[in-house]
Amino acid sequence: MGAKKGTNNFKSFQQNRIQAKLDAIEDFINSLPKRMKFDRFEDLLADCCEYLGCHRTTITRQQVYVEKLKDEFQQRSLFLSSDSMGNYSTSQLEQLIEAKDAEISSLKGEIDRTSAALRDAKTQITYYLSDDYKESGFVFNKPENSVRITEKKQESNFQKEFEYTAHALNLLLQYLEDQRFGIGLRNENSSSKFILADDGLGAIPKKIADSKYLADFVRYLNKSGAKYGSK
């Protein structure tokens, strides 16, 4: 059965092929990550041809294909370049320039805020280093450096060594007390102060060490909850 008179089957066939290709290009666009950007139109075109499995001229010889990709390129362009300028219409360029101007304005605002914050920080640092701050009585809290950390470790080691020595001295006094040598801590003149004395030779204790030399040792006994001579 022949075609009706005036019917252009070839034109219809071509339109179907073009629409099928547009649909394929749309599939390619939908396959791209939403945040993917391109700095050249040629890169977008190359990716499209690879996706469709066709030569670039298959796309470029049909203006409708090119326009569809140009619309997508406009949305994904990183910046304007001499290579990409020709892929925009005048209205598209105006819209893109407006968007870039807004982006630049936002960046300028961010730069201004950052500059202001840096100025404030510089002012504070200058004040902390000034004689006025030193004379104010406040202490500037600087980060601990390696020297201070080392000093703290040494202080901790000294404290442990003192506690070991104090414990050994307490055991020694306990032993002397058990053996009735008469040497130990005694209240000085019925006061709260302790001296190290020998009262085994007579009624009057003989002072061996004054209370000022035993203050830290007695403080250790009290802090640890140990009584004089306890093991």
Tens-digit pLDDT string for the chain (231 aa)? 455 555 556 678 888 889 999 999 999 999 999 888 888 888 899 999 999 999 989 898 888 998 899 888 888 876 555 455 555 567 666 766 766 666 676 677 778 888 888 888 888 788 777 777 666 655 555 555 555 666 777 777 777 788 878 788 888 877 777 777 777 777 777 667 777 777 766 666 677 777 788 788 888 888 877 666 544
Q: Which one, of 57, 81, 70, 60, lies nearest residue 29 by Cα?
A: 70
Give the span between the Cα atoms of 90 and 103, in whole angstroms. 20
pTM here is 0.34
CB atoms within 10 A of CB 148: 11
Closest CA to 226 of 161, 170, 185, 177: 170
Specify which residues 63 forms β-bridges with: none
Contact 177, 229 (CB under 8 A): yes
CA–CA separation, 55 vs 60, rounded Å? 9
At position 102, the amino acid (one-letter code) is: A
Query: What H or E segment, with its residue span, contains residue 185?
Result: strand 183-187
Strand, helix or coil for residue 92: helix
